[in-house]
Amino acid sequence: MFPRIGGGSEPASLARKMARQGDWRSLWWLILSQPLPQAVGAAAHLNLRKWNSPSEADTRLAELLTGINPKEAIRLGTQLFDRTTQILPTSLGFANPVGFSVRHPVVALGTRGRDTHTSRVVTVDRTGVRSILYEGPAQHWSLCALDSETVIARREFDSGGYRGDTEIVEYTPGREVVLANGSGLLDAVVEPTATGFVVGTKLNAFAFALADGQQEQLNLREFGLRRADLFAVDATGTRIVFADGTRLLVTDSRLQPLHDIAVERLQHGDINAVTFTEDSIVTAGYDKGLHRWQIIGGRIRGLHSGLRSSPRTFFRLSPVAPWNLLVAEGGNVNYHYDIGTLDRCPAPDFLVQACPDDNDDDLRVGRAIGKFASAPYGRLAVYEGGLATRTRDSASDFYSTVVQDLEHPLNLLTKPVSALNAADAERVRPHLTPSPGAGDAYPLTATERAVLEAAVRACEWAPQANGR
């Protein structure tokens, strides 16, 4: 597949050059690799009479794309950032934790308080800050939101350099309850589930869960794991994958084991980061590289590696399914991957495409500096303002926190046309015809509605088109 390119005018310029050369095959590959607004601009140069379509699906898709007004589509593409984000006038910071909710479009943020000696815990939704649940001297290291007024956190207090006063606490408006404390919780991680939340400890390899009001626990040493703090929750909140060394263990939200696997040797070395994507588990290793796993026939099976495409060791993997993107962070530097193939690719145009690597085959596929966070179950993404293109001209926006609404139907226009599928159409279709009396969470202009309706139709033909 032709590499997807960032920048609104570059695909059109390349498409014009390919059309002059009569290279219709490469032009069609280029069109398929672009998000719909840029694909429409490139498709304006496709001569349907001269192009030899490889299939009926390709023909129908081409007719659809060439029938969209390119100026309207491209203009809509440039408005995506403003239409899908909220900018908070506070710096996210590398050490400030971010925690999402499974059931609600809400995120918990740890930010600086009124001075350098205090911190805040707030919840944010697609409209901005919902609740300030804590302000005081505690330092927070891990957060998750159960809803807009309930946050579970791991916190510590400054004890003169001694890290012994560690607590798991529940914050609600005007109230905090310490759920557990002790040195065994040092470096523990909290995550939400569909039935409550889970806490994974680093020092004693125990995981604890609150599931529908019942307390559960699991000793991961019984399965060969020496730690329980390296884990991820899937998009439904019903499965948890724990990782250590070259072993994976999948449980349900009550910590009942479902599958486990031990591998003698992985190309990427011991697992350093893990996440769920839409249909897989992806791991990153100490020795660089990515690896994809799927649960097939009741077993966890390794599928393939993206070893050659990983320039460094990654410490965090953030999937963004609506963008068809996996953001891999290593030392505050983000690299972008196709969520399905694990191939390097650009991010959406509204994210900075900075600092291209000298060893990149395509220098347009670069890296971006700054914190980025999302989760398989998250309905929002959160990142430092410096990552957003529009902040280059604004110092206040540069040092801000961007909250991106991943449920906004316009997110459909950030995915390459080749990645569109029936699930995308199902997510967007209800917003095109809202139920009477239900309210319209996302008011759309006539132009936006027309382009989105075309994108939904494209979801039918894109999975069958191959460009060959």
Q: Give Cα 454 distance to the centre of its chain.
A: 25
Q: What is the mean pLDDT of residues 412-421?
A: 94
Q: What is the mean pLDDT of residues 324-341?
A: 91
Do 120 and 394 touch, CB atoms closer than 8 A? no
Do 409 and 428 touch, CB atoms closer than 8 A? yes
Share of the chain above pLDDT 90, in %: 71
Q: What is the mean pLDDT of residues 21-44?
A: 94
What is the pLDDT, as a whole number, of residue 305?
67
Tokens representing 279 are 């249909």
Tokens representing 450 are 């027309």
Strand partners for 197: 192, 210
Helix H or strand E segment including 456: helix 446-461
Q: Which of 93-97, 268-272, 279-283, 428-432 has the lowest mean pLDDT?
A: 93-97
What is the pLDDT, as a whole number, of residue 306?
63
Q: DSSP for 366-394, please give it.
A: --EES-EE--TT-SEEEEEGGGBGGGGG-
Rg (CA), the chain: 23
Do 46 and 24 touch, CB atoms closer than 8 A? yes
Do 227 and 202 touch, CB atoms closer than 8 A? yes
> Pick from 215, 216, 247: which is nearest to 231 by CA?
247
pLDDT digits (tens, 9 = 90+) for 374-413: 999 999 999 999 888 877 677 788 889 999 999 999 999 9
What is the pLDDT, as a whole number, of residue 332?
81
Q: How far apart are CA 77 and CA 38, in angstroms?
A: 8
CB proximity list for 101: less than 8 A, separation 6 or greater: 107, 108, 144, 145, 146, 147, 192, 377, 378, 379
Confidence of residue 1 (pLDDT cuts 50, 70, 90): very low
Q: How far apart are CA 135 and CA 132, in angstroms?
A: 8
Mean pLDDT over all residues of the chain? 89
CB proximity list for 463: less than 8 A, separation 6 or greater: 420, 421, 422
Decide if pLDDT at 360 tops 60: no
> Pick from 339, 335, 314: which is nearest to 325 by CA?
339
Per-domain boundaries in the chain: 10-80+408-464, 87-322+370-405
Q: Which of 84-93, 149-158, 312-321, 380-389 has the lowest mean pLDDT?
A: 84-93
CATH of segment(s) 87-322+370-405: 2.40.128.630
What is the pLDDT, as a whole number, of residue 160?
64
Confidence of residue 8 (pLDDT cuts 50, 70, 90): very low
What is the pLDDT, as a whole number, of residue 307?
58
Decide if pLDDT at 297 tops 80: yes
Q: Which of 258-272, 403-417, 422-436 has the highest mean pLDDT?
A: 403-417
Decide if pLDDT at 103 tops 70: yes
Share of the chain above pLDDT 70, in %: 90
Q: How far apart are CA 432 and CA 426, in angstroms?
A: 11
Decide if pLDDT at 181 tops 80: yes
How many Cβ atoms from other residues are within 10 Å of residue 254's Cβ? Answer: 18
More confident residue, 159 or 12: 12
CB proximity list for 438: less than 8 A, separation 6 or greater: none
Confidence of residue 216 (pLDDT cuts 50, 70, 90): very high
Q: How far apart are CA 120 and CA 118, in angstroms?
A: 7
